[in-house]
């Protein structure tokens, strides 16, 4: 296991220390991997650490070769795993609930907005379907969904999904948008249209946040994540596909339109 740098409380003794165990890169087994839930909770907790309500430690675990102490403590459980005062929370729903109810400041991240919750549902499933089927109509399904998000952002004219302050929905959506950008382009040459100006403006604002940039996996890790899924246990195919391990990590954060602040 290896530790990742994270926002801290500058050593204040009266704030709880929270540890988040996340999946490591499937390329080097040390840097951040491309697990969407890991990045989502990393972002939630990083924002709280920036507010100095907690001290955050992030640990990466290579799930291809998990260390003995991880196996002893967590058996076959996969990250994300949240540890708060020695208590390990192992399931995604329980992690989210724990952040909201038990971690100082967490409640403020979890705003109630049914329209936004519905709006960002199934974004990832449509990406997966597009990558699996590689058919034009599957691209159109994802494109239509992204247009709805773009139109929502345009109508509200706010930096983020529910206002000018980031919330849990942004921590959920933005990692998925990054996967759409990187994996969509690589596998099926899918790109978010420049005409979706509100969505690009939203992504621009998210790219300015340390909570996103510090938690974001490299492009190569996102690509390799889907290559391994497509290989489905075919060891020979895995080896052929893993040329990303020879590349210097890159991070796609460019914006194809001019952003007026």
Predicted pLDDT of residue 137: 72
Averaged pLDDT score across all residues of the chain:
90
The token pair that represents 191 in the structure block: 């790109």
Classify domain 114-246 at the CATH class level: mainly alpha
* 2-108 belongs to CATH 3.40.605.10: no
Q: Side by side, which strands form the sheet with 81-84? A: 2-4, 55-61, 17-23, 81-84, 87-89
pLDDT in tens, 85-122: 999 999 999 999 999 999 999 999 999 999 999 999 99
Distance of CA 85 to CAs 11, 16, 17, 194, 203, Å? 16, 7, 7, 46, 35
Give every CB contact of residue 45 below 8 A, 6+ residues apart in sequence: 6, 18, 20, 54, 56, 82, 99, 103
Give helix 136-156 / helix 197-207 axis angle, nearest 10°: 80
**CA 167 vs CA 77, 108, 115, 134, 213: distances in Å:** 28, 8, 14, 33, 16
Residue 181 reports pLDDT greater than 60: yes
Distance (Å, rounded) from C-alpha 235 to C-alpha 231?
8
In the prediction, which pLDDT does 245 show? 66
Domain ranges of the chain: 2-108, 114-246
Is the pLDDT higher at 244 or at 56? Answer: 56
Per residue in 116-175, pLDDT (tens digit) is 999 999 999 999 888 887 766 778 889 999 999 999 999 999 999 999 999 999 999 999
Instruction: Give the model confidence (pLDDT) of 42-84 as tens digits.
Output: 999 999 999 999 999 999 999 999 999 898 889 889 999 999 9
Do 218 and 251 touch, CB atoms closer than 8 A?
A: yes
For the chain, the residue count is: 261
Q: For residue 76, what pLDDT is reported?
A: 82
């Amino acid at each position: 296991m290896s530790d990742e740098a994270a926002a801290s409380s500058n050593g204040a003794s009266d704030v709880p220390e929270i540890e988040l165990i996340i999946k490591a890169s499937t390329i080097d087994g040390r840097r951040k991997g491309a697990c969407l839930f890991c990045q989502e909770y990393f972002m939630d907790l990083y924002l709280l650490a920036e507010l100095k309500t907690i001290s955050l430690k992030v640990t990466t675990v290579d799930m291809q070769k998990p260390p003995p102490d991880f196996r002893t403590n967590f058996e076959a459980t996969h990250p994300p795993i949240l540890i708060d005062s020695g208590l390990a929370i192992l399931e995604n729903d329980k992690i989210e609930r724990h952040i909201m109810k038990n971690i100082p400041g967490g409640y403020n991240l979890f705003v109630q907005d049914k329209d936004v919750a519905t709006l960002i549902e199934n974004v990832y499933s449509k990406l997966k379907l597009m990558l699996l089927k590689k058919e034009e109509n599957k691209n159109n399904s994802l494109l239509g969904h992204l247009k709805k998000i773009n139109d929502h952002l345009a109508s509200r004219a706010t930096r983020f999904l529910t206002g000018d302050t980031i919330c849990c929905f942004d921590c959920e959506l933005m990692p998925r948008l990054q996967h759409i950008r990187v994996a969509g382009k690589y596998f099926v040459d899918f790109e978010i249209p420049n005409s979706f100006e509100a969505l690009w403006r939203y992504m621009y604002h998210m790219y300015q946040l340390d909570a996103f940039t510090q938690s974001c996996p490299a492009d190569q890790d996102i690509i390799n994540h889907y290559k391994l899924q497509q290989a489905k246990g075919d060891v020979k195919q895995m080896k052929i596909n893993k040329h990303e391990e020879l590349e210097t990590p890159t991070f796609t954060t460019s914006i194809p339109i001019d952003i007026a602040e």
